[in-house]
Structure 1
Amino acid sequence: MKNKILLICTMILFSFTSCSNENEGMNNGLKIPMANAAADVTNTSFRAKWNYVSLSKTYLLDVSLSPDFATFVPNYNSKVVTDLNEVVTGLDGGTKYYYRVRAQNESQISVYSNVITVITTGSSVIPEDPTFLKVKANKLANPFFVGVAIKANQLTSGSAYDVVLKNEFSSISAEYEMKMDPISTASGVYNWSAADKIVKYGNDNGINVHGHALVWHNAVPAWLKNFKGTDAEFALEVKKYITDVVTRYAGKVKSWDVVNEAVADNGTMRSTVFLTRMGPDYVKDCFKWAREAANAAGDKDLLLFYNDYATSDNLPKQNQVYVIVDALKAASLIDGVGFQMHNTYLSPTKAQIETDINKAVAKGLKIHISELDMAMNPKGDITTFTNERNLLQKAKYKEIVKIYNALPKANKYALTVWGFKDNESWIPFNSVDLNRPWNDWPLLFDANFKIKSAHTGFLEGLD
């Protein structure tokens, strides 16, 4: 009898436990749905899709213009859907939307799914912001120069380049014509024509002139590359060149990239004729000669920069750059660091850029984003500039300008875009070095000088 009672009690307890577990399973809610990439995207609609969730009877669909879903597209705030997809309509062309779903079974509702981003086709009906870049930058509490890379033949008064430059930019950097190769034709013999034109244009029009660059391994004139004298005599030739250039433009060129790209991609000192013939301290020597020349010419305000590329997402290279920078800083020879920022829409990340730049900020140095452009076709996967890439470019330009604009006043110098128009950028034409024999659209203006969404993104980064 006792065993029988024990058996009955056990069965009752099992029954209560089963009911409790069943209720607990219901209270835990439905499984989280998985949202899938949108399909059938048009100018004004797309099909939102998601996976089936067991026990769900309906789904709740949210669509928003912001990733945090602070607001909702009309009629798409927890819209009840009985299928595994829904055509979202009434949208604007060329616009980025976000959607998410929840599973529902009567009073039970799951947590939110992942968020899917979709950009409608066509063009946005919202016009680009026509505000001039330098006008907005100059109104900032902590303004900075907005620069552009130029060629001497673009500086003809009244040309399209001249008009855009004077309206939009407050600083110029010579794309190539102020490097050693075009200036120095022999020992002590110089061709100043293009450089003089660039400097005079800037000075005459109240535009800052940034000198680019005194020493670069890809701009060594043949006579110096093949120099037959001793290493000491070679060093004296470099010193003479730096001294003569800095002296000629003292008070007219406000800053110089003294040495450009001295670090290889593997994080070692780049093997160049300067390293081979002048030794591992050649960078420091070049800065010393530039500083001495400026002081002798009475130019106590000249800013000296070290300039390099791809340091944000290449830590070995970044570390070696800062070894150089630290040595120059210890010798009181450097004022700032140039971060070229030949980026793509895929990399580097915001966090990588901030980490890289903030190292220089912590050292009290000025920051020059010196050669900014944004490759939108690094893999050659598109043949025309799609609206999706257009909006991604806008967002990336906004991101990097916002990073720069947030810097302390003392660390700001200039943010320079590397060229005027997409069709004249170095990126589409550099198929050998970049291995990209296809088109690209990296800049703020299209081939006809029409402002792009990237230009608007730049302006939004100044907010």
Structure 2
Amino acid sequence: MRTAKLRALRRAAAPRPAVSRAATALTALTALAVAMVGLAAPAHAADPVLRDLATAKGRYYGTAVTTSKLTGTYGAITAAQFNSVTPGNEMKWGSVEPTRGSFNWDGADRLVNFAEANGQKVRGHTLVWHSQMPNWLANGTFSDAELRTIMNEHVTTETTRYKGRIDHWDVVNEPLNEDGTMRASTFYTQLGESYIADAFRSARAADPAAKLYINDYNTDGTGAKSNGMYSLVQRLKAQGVPIDGVGFQGHLILGQLPSTLQANLQRFADLGVDVAITELDIRMTLPATTAQLAQQKDEFKAVTTACLAVTRCKGVTAWGFTDSDSWIPDVFPGQGAATPYDESFQPKPAYYGIAEALGWTGDSGGGGGGGTPTGCAVTYAVPSQWNNGFTAAVTLRNTGSSPVSGWTVRWTWPSGQSVTSAWNATVTQSGTQVAAVNAAHNAAIPAGGSVDFGFNGGWSGANTAPTAFTLNGAACTTS
């Protein structure tokens, strides 16, 4: 993904110092996601909506995405849960200008269009970076004047295309070494530090309304590299460079959250710039244990809390919301589980930690909105089957002594079935994993009560019934 950066991250791996929107609004938001991607978001009915909670706090909570995946469940969660999106790769130089003067905007356009359709901010990432440059630039030979012209023209062209549509730009990405000195990139080696000022001025001229950031990793706590960034920002401001903010990537290791994070954010804010956490993930040694996931929840919560405590911290962006789209396992063998959702798009404890930091006070147990029941029973029947299709009827019974408010029933298909349509529940599927979430009218199940839902599905070879169901994370008896 990011070869130069990843090598540096490996070197740096040693220890280093309101309630979600009302049901009607949530329904409207989900409907918007359905219109965009064809599936309802598999959020649990009473679970928090991060974008709503963040908005209530005057912040954004965003995610980096792979634009080609913005369909199905992936796209639905992106639309429903986040109020800011960052392209993982689609706006980088090598993606948009693979040949000098010839631009490919397909991926970037899709992302911006998706964001606008779903009322989301866009964080443009990134205009000038030493990595993922096109071959013609990385291996070309240019005079200093020509290289400066090439850089300024690229910044101007890309920023102009999205004028008025990008809220924040990472104008210059990762300009520093680990000791806080300037990285010997192609741009710095030939042009010196002035390349940064030129890039910012070109971006400002092309889009005066966009907020312009400098962005780097391993600057989250106080230390040599963050001190180097602090001095760089001071110099840029003294030169009148139009720098609006500093991005702190936040690629963290479980158990190594910098204790000085909040103080570090604050000292940059005191320079007169905005700050943001731009690429948050917290990796751990696999397989993830219950204790590790609980600690990860605390650390996602702590990072979010630190941002909220600094008035000029504008928001937090997770570098991917699901473990199925995380870069960590490919780069750090044996490590992963770094994001708020698991590989099956189910929220992990970290997701609830974020929500709690943003003010949510609901249950954060097994993932269902109404907590974990003390007893449940599921009756599954197939009243009709034909060719390669079937109709299923499900009765969910609360056999406990307390009511359930908001439910999610999960099961695994034993023989490759698929759900095509449903009633009295929103049913989503990822591989063989299925989740059925209550409708607005049947969210409450009194003690001893029951609800019914059903669906049509497809099958081939066999249509074996599921053998196990859970209700809000608790196992149910099955008949």
Q: Aligning the two structures, in what range does the TM-score lie when normalised by the shorter sequence? A: 0.5 to 0.7
By how many angstroms is 1:188 displaced? 1.5
Contact 1:227 1:234 survives alignment (8 Å): no
- Say whether 1:131 aligns with 2:28: no
Task: Pick the aligned partner of 2:242 from 333, 340, 348.
Answer: 333
- How far is 1:314 from its partner? 6.0
Q: Deviations over 1:137-161 (max 9, x none)?
A: 2223xx11110001111223xx101
Structure 1 residues 159-178: aligned runs within 5 Å: 159-178=72-91
Flag as ranges the 4+ runs of structure 1 deviating above 4 A.
none
Partners of 2:358 and 2:222 lie apart in 1 by 27
Unaligned runs of 5+ in 2: 1-43, 360-479
Instruction: Give yes or no for the alignment of 1:247 onto 2:156.
Output: no
Match of 1:451 among 347, 362, 375: 347
In structure 2, the partner of 1:84 is none
Pairwise mapping of residues 199-348 of structure 1 onto structure 2 (< 5 A)? 199-294=112-207, 300-313=208-221, 315-330=223-238, 331-348=240-257
Secondary structure in 2 matching 1:373:
strand
Q: Name the CA distance, whole Å, in 1 between partners of 2:224 and 2:141.
A: 35
TM-score (norm 1): 0.66
1:362 and 2:270 matched: yes
Residue number in structure 2 paired with 1:440: 336
> Pick from 47, 62, 65: which aligns with 1:150?
65
Q: 1:371 aligns with which of 262, 279, 296?
A: 279
Instruction: Calculate percent identity across the aligned residue pairs.
Output: 34
TM superposition shift of 1:182: 0.8
Q: Displacement, 1:354?
A: 1.5
Matches within 5 A, 1:389-428: 389-408=292-311, 411-428=312-329
Q: Deviations over 1:406-453 (max 9, x none)?
A: 222xx13221011021132111111xxxxx311421110001111110
What is the distance in 2 between the residues matched to 1:280 and 1:137? 36
Per-residue deviation, residues 267-314 of structure 1 (Å, max 9, x unmatched): 2111111111222221111111111222xxxxx321000000111346
CA distance in 2 between partners of 1:136 and 1:314 (Å): 29
CA RMSD of aligned residues (A): 1.7
- Is the 1:149–1:173 contact (alpha carbons within 8 Å) kept by the matching residues of 2? yes
**Number of residue pairs aligned between Structure 1 and Structure 2:** 315
| Contact in 2 for aligned 1:428/1:437 (Cα 8 Å) | yes
1:72-151 map, 5 Å:
130-140=47-57, 143-151=58-66
Pair 1:461-2:362 in alignment: no
Higher RCO (Cα < 8 Å, 6 or more apart): 2
CA distance in 2, matches of 1:455, 1:341: 16
Q: Secondary structure at the match of 1:338?
A: strand
Q: Aligned equivalents of 1:453 and 1:129: distance in 2?
A: 15
User: What is the identity, as a one-letter code, of the residue corresponding to 1:373?
Assistant: D
> 1:426 & 1:185 partners in 2: Cα distance?
23
Given that 1:178 and 1:195 are in contact with CA atoms closer than 8 Å, whether structure 2 keeps it comes out as yes
Q: Deviations over 1:115-157 (max 9, x none)?
A: xxxxxxxxxxxx99721111222223xx11110001111223x
Q: Closer, same or farther in 2 for the Cα pair 1:358/1:412, shift >3 Å?
A: closer
Native 8 Å contact 1:343 1:375 kept in 2: yes
Aligned residues of 2:222 and 2:264 also touching (Cα < 8 A)? no
Amino acid paired to 1:146:
Y
Report Cα offsets for 1:371-394 as digits up to 9, x if no partner.
0011122xxxxx421111011011
